[in-house]
Amino acid sequence: MAEISTIARPYAVAAFNLAKQQKALAKWSEMLGFAAAVSNDAQMQAYIQDPKVVSSELQAAFLKVCGDKLNEYGQNLIKVLVEYRRLSVLPAITDAFEELKALDEGSLEAEIIAASKPSAAEVKDLVKRLEAKFGKKIEANVSVDSELIGGIKIIVGDTVIDASVKNQLQNLAYTLSA
Protein backbone atom coordinates (compact mmCIF):
# COMPACT_ATOMS: atom_id res chain seq x y z
CA MET A 1 0.00 0.00 0.00
CA ALA A 2 2.78 2.41 0.86
CA GLU A 3 4.34 1.82 -2.54
CA ILE A 4 1.13 2.72 -4.37
CA SER A 5 0.72 5.91 -2.36
CA THR A 6 4.36 6.78 -3.02
CA ILE A 7 3.75 6.41 -6.75
CA ALA A 8 0.42 8.26 -6.63
CA ARG A 9 1.48 11.29 -4.57
CA PRO A 10 3.54 13.14 -7.24
CA TYR A 11 0.70 12.81 -9.76
CA ALA A 12 -1.81 14.02 -7.17
CA VAL A 13 0.38 16.97 -6.20
CA ALA A 14 0.81 17.95 -9.85
CA ALA A 15 -2.94 17.68 -10.51
CA PHE A 16 -3.69 19.61 -7.33
CA ASN A 17 -1.25 22.41 -8.19
CA LEU A 18 -2.70 22.70 -11.69
CA ALA A 19 -6.27 22.65 -10.39
CA LYS A 20 -5.44 25.31 -7.80
CA GLN A 21 -3.75 27.47 -10.43
CA GLN A 22 -6.84 27.15 -12.67
CA LYS A 23 -9.17 27.69 -9.68
CA ALA A 24 -10.86 24.43 -10.65
CA LEU A 25 -10.47 22.16 -7.61
CA ALA A 26 -14.10 20.99 -7.78
CA LYS A 27 -13.84 20.23 -11.51
CA TRP A 28 -10.64 18.24 -11.01
CA SER A 29 -12.16 16.39 -8.08
CA GLU A 30 -15.09 15.44 -10.31
CA MET A 31 -12.83 14.41 -13.22
CA LEU A 32 -10.52 12.31 -11.09
CA GLY A 33 -13.44 10.68 -9.29
CA PHE A 34 -15.05 9.71 -12.59
CA ALA A 35 -11.79 8.44 -14.10
CA ALA A 36 -11.05 6.43 -10.94
CA ALA A 37 -14.52 4.87 -11.12
CA VAL A 38 -13.87 3.89 -14.74
CA SER A 39 -10.50 2.38 -13.83
CA ASN A 40 -12.11 0.43 -10.96
CA ASP A 41 -14.60 -1.25 -13.30
CA ALA A 42 -13.91 -5.00 -13.44
CA GLN A 43 -13.81 -5.14 -17.25
CA MET A 44 -11.57 -2.08 -17.44
CA GLN A 45 -9.26 -3.57 -14.77
CA ALA A 46 -8.87 -6.71 -16.86
CA TYR A 47 -8.16 -4.58 -19.94
CA ILE A 48 -5.62 -2.40 -18.08
CA GLN A 49 -3.76 -5.41 -16.72
CA ASP A 50 -3.75 -7.35 -20.00
CA PRO A 51 -0.11 -7.33 -21.19
CA LYS A 52 -1.23 -7.92 -24.80
CA VAL A 53 -3.00 -4.54 -24.97
CA VAL A 54 -0.69 -1.87 -26.36
CA SER A 55 -0.62 1.57 -24.75
CA SER A 56 -2.24 3.35 -27.69
CA GLU A 57 -5.25 0.99 -27.64
CA LEU A 58 -5.64 1.30 -23.86
CA GLN A 59 -5.40 5.07 -24.03
CA ALA A 60 -7.97 5.31 -26.83
CA ALA A 61 -10.38 2.95 -25.08
CA PHE A 62 -10.08 4.66 -21.71
CA LEU A 63 -10.52 8.16 -23.13
CA LYS A 64 -13.48 6.99 -25.21
CA VAL A 65 -15.19 5.61 -22.11
CA CYS A 66 -14.53 8.85 -20.23
CA GLY A 67 -15.86 10.91 -23.13
CA ASP A 68 -16.32 14.60 -22.38
CA LYS A 69 -16.03 14.09 -18.61
CA LEU A 70 -12.30 14.90 -18.87
CA ASN A 71 -10.95 18.23 -20.08
CA GLU A 72 -7.71 18.54 -22.03
CA TYR A 73 -5.57 18.42 -18.87
CA GLY A 74 -7.43 15.40 -17.50
CA GLN A 75 -6.90 13.61 -20.81
CA ASN A 76 -3.19 14.47 -20.66
CA LEU A 77 -2.96 12.94 -17.18
CA ILE A 78 -4.56 9.73 -18.47
CA LYS A 79 -2.12 9.67 -21.41
CA VAL A 80 0.86 9.97 -19.06
CA LEU A 81 -0.52 7.28 -16.74
CA VAL A 82 -1.07 4.92 -19.68
CA GLU A 83 2.39 5.65 -21.10
CA TYR A 84 4.07 4.71 -17.81
CA ARG A 85 1.66 1.78 -17.13
CA ARG A 86 0.33 3.48 -14.01
CA LEU A 87 -3.37 3.69 -14.84
CA SER A 88 -4.20 1.21 -12.07
CA VAL A 89 -2.87 3.77 -9.55
CA LEU A 90 -5.60 6.27 -10.52
CA PRO A 91 -7.83 5.57 -7.47
CA ALA A 92 -4.85 6.25 -5.15
CA ILE A 93 -4.10 9.46 -7.07
CA THR A 94 -7.72 10.50 -6.57
CA ASP A 95 -7.54 9.77 -2.84
CA ALA A 96 -4.30 11.74 -2.46
CA PHE A 97 -5.79 14.63 -4.47
CA GLU A 98 -8.84 14.68 -2.19
CA GLU A 99 -6.57 14.76 0.88
CA LEU A 100 -4.68 17.73 -0.54
CA LYS A 101 -7.94 19.45 -1.40
CA ALA A 102 -9.33 18.90 2.09
CA LEU A 103 -6.12 20.19 3.64
CA ASP A 104 -6.27 23.27 1.44
CA GLU A 105 -9.88 23.86 2.39
CA GLY A 106 -8.95 23.59 6.06
CA SER A 107 -10.40 20.20 6.90
CA LEU A 108 -8.94 16.79 7.61
CA GLU A 109 -10.49 13.35 7.59
CA ALA A 110 -10.09 11.32 10.76
CA GLU A 111 -10.76 7.62 11.06
CA ILE A 112 -11.82 6.80 14.60
CA ILE A 113 -11.76 3.10 15.41
CA ALA A 114 -13.16 2.11 18.79
CA ALA A 115 -13.47 -1.22 20.57
CA SER A 116 -17.13 -0.48 21.27
CA LYS A 117 -19.53 2.05 19.75
CA PRO A 118 -18.83 5.48 21.27
CA SER A 119 -21.71 7.80 22.15
CA ALA A 120 -22.39 10.89 20.06
CA ALA A 121 -21.13 13.07 22.92
CA GLU A 122 -17.84 11.14 23.08
CA VAL A 123 -17.32 11.48 19.34
CA LYS A 124 -18.15 15.21 19.48
CA ASP A 125 -15.65 15.72 22.34
CA LEU A 126 -12.99 13.72 20.51
CA VAL A 127 -13.52 15.68 17.28
CA LYS A 128 -13.24 18.96 19.22
CA ARG A 129 -9.93 17.81 20.73
CA LEU A 130 -8.60 16.70 17.34
CA GLU A 131 -9.58 20.05 15.80
CA ALA A 132 -7.63 21.82 18.56
CA LYS A 133 -4.63 19.52 18.06
CA PHE A 134 -4.48 19.81 14.25
CA GLY A 135 -5.88 23.34 13.88
CA LYS A 136 -8.27 22.19 11.15
CA LYS A 137 -11.90 21.14 10.85
CA ILE A 138 -12.15 17.38 11.33
CA GLU A 139 -14.51 15.13 9.38
CA ALA A 140 -14.79 11.96 11.48
CA ASN A 141 -15.55 8.45 10.25
CA VAL A 142 -16.31 6.21 13.22
CA SER A 143 -16.05 2.42 13.07
CA VAL A 144 -15.99 -0.40 15.61
CA ASP A 145 -13.31 -3.10 15.79
CA SER A 146 -13.77 -5.52 18.70
CA GLU A 147 -10.21 -6.84 18.17
CA LEU A 148 -8.92 -3.66 19.85
CA ILE A 149 -10.20 -5.20 23.11
CA GLY A 150 -10.62 -1.73 24.62
CA GLY A 151 -9.66 1.86 23.93
CA ILE A 152 -9.46 3.69 20.63
CA LYS A 153 -7.29 4.15 17.55
CA ILE A 154 -7.33 7.42 15.56
CA ILE A 155 -5.84 7.94 12.10
CA VAL A 156 -5.56 11.51 10.77
CA GLY A 157 -3.56 11.68 7.56
CA ASP A 158 -0.15 10.18 8.39
CA THR A 159 -0.66 10.50 12.16
CA VAL A 160 -1.79 7.43 14.10
CA ILE A 161 -2.82 7.68 17.74
CA ASP A 162 -3.21 4.16 19.08
CA ALA A 163 -4.59 4.05 22.63
CA SER A 164 -6.03 0.55 22.30
CA VAL A 165 -5.56 -2.27 24.79
CA LYS A 166 -4.44 -4.50 21.90
CA ASN A 167 -1.59 -2.09 21.10
CA GLN A 168 -0.57 -1.82 24.76
CA LEU A 169 -0.49 -5.62 25.06
CA GLN A 170 1.61 -5.88 21.90
CA ASN A 171 4.05 -3.28 23.24
CA LEU A 172 4.27 -5.14 26.55
CA ALA A 173 4.93 -8.45 24.77
CA TYR A 174 7.64 -6.81 22.68
CA THR A 175 9.26 -5.27 25.76
CA LEU A 176 9.22 -8.57 27.63
CA SER A 177 10.72 -10.49 24.71
CA ALA A 178 13.59 -8.00 24.25
Distance CA 144, CA 140 (A): 13
Q: What is the pLDDT of residue 103?
A: 84
What is the architecture of the domain spanning 2-102?
Orthogonal Bundle (1.10)
Classify 85 in phi/psi space as left (phi over 0), alpha (psi -120 to 50) or beta. Answer: left
**Residues of the chain by 3-state class (helix, strand, coil), percent to 5:** 70, 15, 15
pLDDT along the chain (178 residues), means of 10: 82 96 95 96 93 94 95 96 94 94 87 94 95 90 94 90 93 90
Question: b/e for 69-87, b at 16 or more Cβ within 10 A?
Answer: bbeeebbebbeebbeeebb
Map out the domains of the chain as residue ranges: 2-102, 107-177
Q: What is the pLDDT of residue 1?
A: 46
Q: Tell me which residue of 95, 111, 121 sits closest to 16, measured CA to CA.
A: 95
CATH of domain 107-177: 3.40.30
